[in-house]
Amino acid sequence: MWAGRVLHAALSGASRGRRAQSALAQLRGILKEELESIRRAGTWKSERVITSSQGPHIHVDGAPGGIINFCANNYLGLSSHPEVIQAGLQTLKEFGAGLSSVRFICGTQSIHKDLEAKIARFHQREDAILYPSCFDANTGLFEALLTSEDAVLSDELNHASIIDGIRLCKAHKYRYRHLDMADLEAKLQEAQKHRLRLVATDGAFSMDGDIAPLQEICRLASQYGALVFVDESHATGFLGPTGRGTDELLGVMDQVTIINSTLGKALGGASGGYTTGPGALVSLLRQRARPYLFSNSLPPASVGCASKALDLLMESNAIVQSMAAKTLRFRSQMEAAGFTISGANHPICPVMLGDARLALNIADDMLKRGIFVIGFSYPVVPKDKARIRVQISAVHSEEDIDRCVEAFVEVGRLHGALP
């Protein structure tokens, strides 16, 4: 009898093993087909390996010589600023590599509270709360704030993190056409039956380089009793006279209720995100926002770098002022050459090409000419709206910009994108 049980167990184990192998083989087949379909569509995303620090001039594995980088979110060039680096090193030495904890257990240091207070002062808000990323800030906000009694009205081209955050909440969801204020008003009228109404928009849209009409959004919000939320990730540090963002640029700082933004772009380029707004809201997020409650604290070095970046911005707006002229230089030369550049007056300058393979091939040939740019295609942007997103930095020289334009013209003609 014992031998029979052993044999039965062995046979059962073998059967389970075969089923497991069959399931794994099925998974491999599904994944192979999915990956091949991405390659066939021309939307495969390769990762180029940078072998130097981030900056306007970099070294790339497999590419000879120095490369001019035109696709980083390093808008102010602070990711390699000596004072920012030194602040990170000093904070690392004094406060350690990490906290090994979430904030409410044993993961809050004095530097976290100091940076939150500095962010609130910078944006002229009551309080601020740090997250590991702005993606986390966006996925944490809506679920904690809104209930099934409420409504959220979102621009159709909002960042993926806003979309995902809204999906997590139980509020009634309205999506208005991109920058279409008539459609937003219609949706606000429809949403009057709900308790709270929150209009959610990017300040500057990362794929298109256009800016939300915050004056009109705030007017409609006031008219229909709604709150306004703005993601300022592609605006904080360089839009507006002192770099406070699109609400400062458009004169509505006192009308925007909630701002989310990042420390991983203009403010040092490391990592981290935040929400800033009413003190009671920030207190609620500390109690209920899941990415805050269940993620490790922001590493001390990242805190130190971001804090120094904010200090530099609040001491002088010279870097901010240099952006406009360089952006205009690139946009005007590219348009004169015959390219279509989306957006306006923003250092995000999407070169619209339409075809995904064309964008990929042009980006590859640009690298051969010493220019680092990346083609964007579906699902990052809509189908048939592929583009190369060029991003101007305050630390690009005029010669860098001119060289980039010359390469675009040469490669564009080679691939038939220009006559």
330 and 296 within one domain:
no
Domain holding 389: CATH number? 3.90.1150.10
Residue 352's SS3 state is: strand
Burial class (CB in 10 A: 0-12, 13-18, 19+), 26: exposed
| pLDDT value, residue 332 | 96
| pLDDT value, residue 337 | 97
Which of 286, 315, 344 represents a domain boundary (last residue)? 315
Burial 226-248 (b: 16+ CB within 10 A, else e): bbbbbbbbbbbbbbbebbbbbbb
| pLDDT value, residue 320 | 77
Residue 406 CB partners (closer than 8 Å, separation 6+): none
Instruction: Decide if 20 is inside a domain.
Output: no
246 and 191 within one domain:
yes
65 and 98 within one domain:
no
Instruction: Decide if 221 is inside a domain.
Output: yes
378 and 289 within one domain:
no
Query: What does pTM read for this prediction?
Result: 0.90
360 and 222 within one domain:
no
- Residues marked active site are found at 206, 234, 265
215 and 325 within one domain:
no
Domain holding 243: CATH number? 3.40.640.10
Q: Could you tell me which residues are beta bridge partners of residue 60? A: 50
| pLDDT value, residue 90 | 98
| pLDDT value, residue 1 | 57
Q: Give how far Cα 358 sits from Cα of 34, 42, 375, 398, Å.
A: 22, 9, 9, 27
392 and 302 within one domain:
no
Q: Name the pairing type of β-strands 348-354 and 386-391.
A: antiparallel
Instruction: Decide if 23 is inside a domain.
Output: no
Which of 251, 283, 315 represents a domain boundary (last residue)? 315
CA–CA distance, 122 with 247 (Å, rounded to integer): 12
> Over its length of 419 residues, how does the chain's per-residue pLDDT go in tens digits?
555 565 555 556 666 667 768 889 999 999 999 999 988 887 788 889 999 999 999 999 988 888 999 999 999 999 999 999 999 999 999 999 999 999 999 999 999 999 999 999 999 999 999 999 999 999 999 999 999 999 999 999 999 999 999 999 999 999 999 999 999 999 999 999 999 999 999 999 999 999 999 999 999 999 999 999 999 999 999 999 999 999 999 999 999 999 999 999 999 999 999 999 999 999 999 999 999 999 999 999 999 999 999 999 999 877 777 788 899 999 999 999 999 999 988 999 999 999 999 999 999 999 999 999 999 988 888 888 999 999 999 999 999 999 999 999 999 999 999 98
350 and 289 within one domain:
no
Range of the domain at 59: 47-76+317-415
CA–CA distance, 77 with 74 (Å, rounded to integer): 5
On whether the CB atoms of residues 411 and 369 are closer than 8 A, the answer is yes
| pLDDT value, residue 11 | 52
| pLDDT value, residue 39 | 87
Q: Give how far Cα 249 sits from Cα of 76, 234, 363, Å.
A: 17, 13, 32
| pLDDT value, residue 78 | 95
HSE (CB half, 13 Å, CA atoms) of 131?
Answer: 25
181 and 259 within one domain:
yes
**Concatenated DSSP letters for 144-198?**
HH--TT-EEEEETT--HHHHHHHHHS-SEEEEEPTT-HHHHHHHHHHGGGSS-EE
| Number of domains present in the structure of the chain | 2
On whether the CB atoms of residues 171 and 152 are closer than 8 A, the answer is yes
CA–CA distance, 24 with 27 (Å, rounded to integer): 5
Residue 390's SS3 state is: strand
Instruction: Decide if 6 is inside a domain.
Output: no
